[in-house]
Amino acid sequence: MGQSVAKAVLANDLNDISAGLVRLGSNLVGQDLGKIIGGENLGVNATDNLEELIKNSDVVIDFSNPELSMQAAEISSKHNKILVCGTTGLSDEQKLQLKNYAKNCVIVWSSNMSIGINLLMNLAEQVAKILHSDYDVEIFEMHHKNKVDAPSGTALSLGEAVARGRNLNFGEVCRKTREGIVGKRTENEIGFCALRGGDVSGDHSVIFAGNGERVELVHKASNRDIYAVGAIRAAIWAEGKPRGFYTMQDVLS
């Protein structure tokens, strides 16, 4: 994702690359970012110093892991920098902490930066509102074999959208796993199925199953560049916004 973001920034006339972060102690430290992503030299070297990177940038785009994302949010809050975060697997406590950090800066977070996925979330909420509980809801997702969290953050966000559409408490109605004799499906249950394998960038389906018919909303990502493009759109949108916590739904609205 780091390379995808860097390439997308270079393709956009409204942005410049100010810095790029690599792992602590990486042999890439000090190398030109252009060389790292397979292009011409940019005159900007890779660093493993997160605070220096944030201090020297206007916006930080982060697709990393929950621990590093929370560090980035804390430092962005300290220096009043914009943070666009697409990290998934955050706990409820970490999401709350993000909102606290956003009191001192602009933070845009989304479980998925794809414009198409965020449209799907909106559609899922509207369809859930129209179809009511006459239609059972199941959410299917598949990702590459290296993804560590399941269900995906995007799948959970889709489930939350369905719950909003039906005025339900998502925590009370979500069913993340089924195994053995679990009994019949409850009326308001939102079920999840997570598959992992190969190099799948991300497939998501929201299935509304009724008696005699089935409505399916589907999004398939063929590569990860869509997440980079969405994150850059969020970064441009965030400039000049009041301090606070935003999502891609705010960006697209």
How many C-beta atoms lie closer than 10 Å to residue 154's C-beta? 25
**CA atoms 251, 220, 129, 184: torsion sign:** negative
Query: Is 147 known to be catalytic?
Result: yes
Task: Out of 81, 143, 204, 219, pick the active-site residue.
Answer: 143
Query: Is 143 known to be catalytic?
Result: yes
**Whole-angstrom Cα distance, residue 104 to residue 126?**
33
Name the phi and psi angles at 64, rounded to 5.
-130, -110
**Whole-angstrom Cα distance, residue 163 to residue 160?**
5
Residues 108 and 85 sit within 8 Å (Cβ to Cβ) = yes
Residues 101 and 228 sit within 8 Å (Cβ to Cβ) = no
CA nearest neighbour of 187 among 205, 175, 177:
175
Task: Out of 55, 78, 147, 176, pick the active-site residue.
Answer: 147
**Whole-angstrom Cα distance, residue 19 to residue 33?**
8
Return the active site residues. 143, 147
